[in-house]
Amino acid sequence: MVMELSLREFKKKFFDDLLEVHWRHWTALGVASHVNPERYWAIDLEALILSTLTNGLYDKRLLSSSLEWLAKNSEWINISRLKRIIKTFTKPVPGLKKFLLAPEIIHLLVNASNKYSRNKIVLPEPNPAFTDDDVFESYKRTFEHFKIRGVVTKPRLQNPSLLQLLLRGIFGVDARSEILIYLLGNESGNSNAIAKEVFFNQRNVYSILERWAEAGMVIKIPEPRATRYSLNRGKELLNTVGLKEMPNYLNWTGTFLLLDQIAQGLVTSPWSEDEYLLSSFFRELLNEMKSLGKNLSVKVPEPNSYEGKRYFAPFARSILNILKQLRTRP
C-alpha cells in the first residue's frame, strides 16, 4: 500500500532534493561542500547559473558560493548562450500569475560578479518589468553582503561531468562544444532540433554541421523534411580528450526550468497551501513532466485517473522520483 504524501512533507523533500542536485553540480565545478560532486550527468553551466539564481533565496550559502565561482571563473561562460537561456527563464510560469525570474535580479548577480572578476559579463540593461519588491530587496541585500570566502577551486576538467568545460577548453567557448555534446549524447539530430536544444542560432549550427560533414566528423542522413547528422567515431573522440565514456546527457535547461516552475508554485500563495490548486497547476506542466519522466524512466500519472486534488499526491511522488534519479547514478 502506498503511503499518503502530505503537502508539507512533499515541500520539504522537494526543496531538499532540488538544492542537493544544485550542490552536486557546483561541487563538481569546484565549490567546497559536504555534498558529493556530480559524476554521472553532463553539467550545463548556463542552465545551472540561472536555476541556482532562481532558487537562491532558499539556500543563500549556495547562491553565495555560486557567485564566488562566477567571479573567479567567468571566462568559462558562453555569454551568447546565457542570453538565450535567460529569455526562457524570464517567461511567465504556466498557471501562475507571476514570472519565474526577473531580469533585474539577473543583473544584480552579474553586477556583483563583475566587482571581483577580470572577465566582465556584459548583458543588455533590463527593462523595468515584474520584480516583486520584497524578493528584489532580499536578493539585493544578499549580494551587497557578499564576500569572497575562499570556497572555490579550479574545476578539474577530467571529471566526466565537466565535459562541457573540457570541450570549451579544447574547441573554445562557442557553439561547437554544445553541438558536440548533443551529438555525443544523442544518436543524431537535424540542425533545427539541435539549435533549439543547445540555444544557438540555427544558421550557425547548420554551418558548423556542414563543415564537420565535409571533414568527415559527422555523417549526413538525408530525410524528406530535414537532413540529420550523426557523429562519426564518437567513442574515439572521447578517448582523445581523455574520457573513457560519455556522461549521461540531459537537457538541463528544460529540466531546471520545469523543476523551478514547480518550486515557484510551492511558494506562491494561494497555490502553496492548497492541494486542489496545485493539482490544477501540475496539470499545466503535464507534457513537460511526461517528457522528462520518459528520459529518466519515471512514470508520470495521467490526470484523467484522478479527480480534483486527488491528483496531487501521485504527481508529487513522480516529481520526487525524478529528483531521486537526478541525485543518484542512472
Range picked from 135-139, 284-288, 326-330 for highest mean pLDDT:
284-288
Three cell numbers written together for 209? 554541421
pLDDT tens for each residue of 265-322: 999 999 999 999 999 999 999 999 999 999 999 999 999 999 999 999 999 999 999 9
Confidence (pLDDT) at 130: 61
CA 232-329-39 angle, 5° bins: 65
Confidence (pLDDT) at 277: 97
The more confidently predicted of residues 5 and 288 is: 288
Considering the entire predicted model, what is its pTM?
0.96
- Going 61 to 67 to 72 to 77, the CA torsion angle's sign is positive
Q: Give the separation between CA 260 and CA 51, rounded to whole angstroms.
A: 7
Domain boundaries, the chain: 7-154+250-327, 160-240
3-state SS record for the chain: CCCCCCHHHHHHHHHHHHHHHHHHHHHHHCECCCCCCCCCECCCHHHHHHHHHHCHHHCHHHHHHHHHHHHHHHHHCCHHHHHHHHHHHCCECCCCCCECCCHHHHHHHHHHHHCCCCCCCCCCCCCCCCCCHHHHHHHHHHHHCCCCCCCECCCCCCCHHHHHHHHHHHHCCCHHHHHHHHHHHCCCEEHHHHHHHHCCCHHHHHHHHHHHHHHCCEEEECCCCCCEEEECCHHHHHHHCCCCCCCECCCHHHHHHHHHHHHHHHHCCCHHHCHHHHHHHHHHCHHHHHHHHHHCCCCCCCHHHCCHHHHHHHHHHHHHHHHHHHHCCC
**DSSP label at residue 233:** S
* 160-240 topology per CATH: Arc Repressor Mutant, subunit A (1.10.10)
Q: Would the pLDDT of 95 be above 60? A: yes
Confidence (pLDDT) at 1: 40
Kindly indicate the confidence band of residue 128, based on its pLDDT and cuts at 50, 70 and 90: low
Instruction: Cell 523533500: give the residue.
Output: 13
Q: For the chain, what percent of residues have pLDDT higher than 70?
A: 98
Q: Would the pLDDT of 60 be above 90? A: yes
| Collapsed DSSP state (helix, strand, coil) of residue 189 | strand
Confidence (pLDDT) at 129: 60
Closest C-alpha among 246, 234, 229, 161 to residue 195: 229
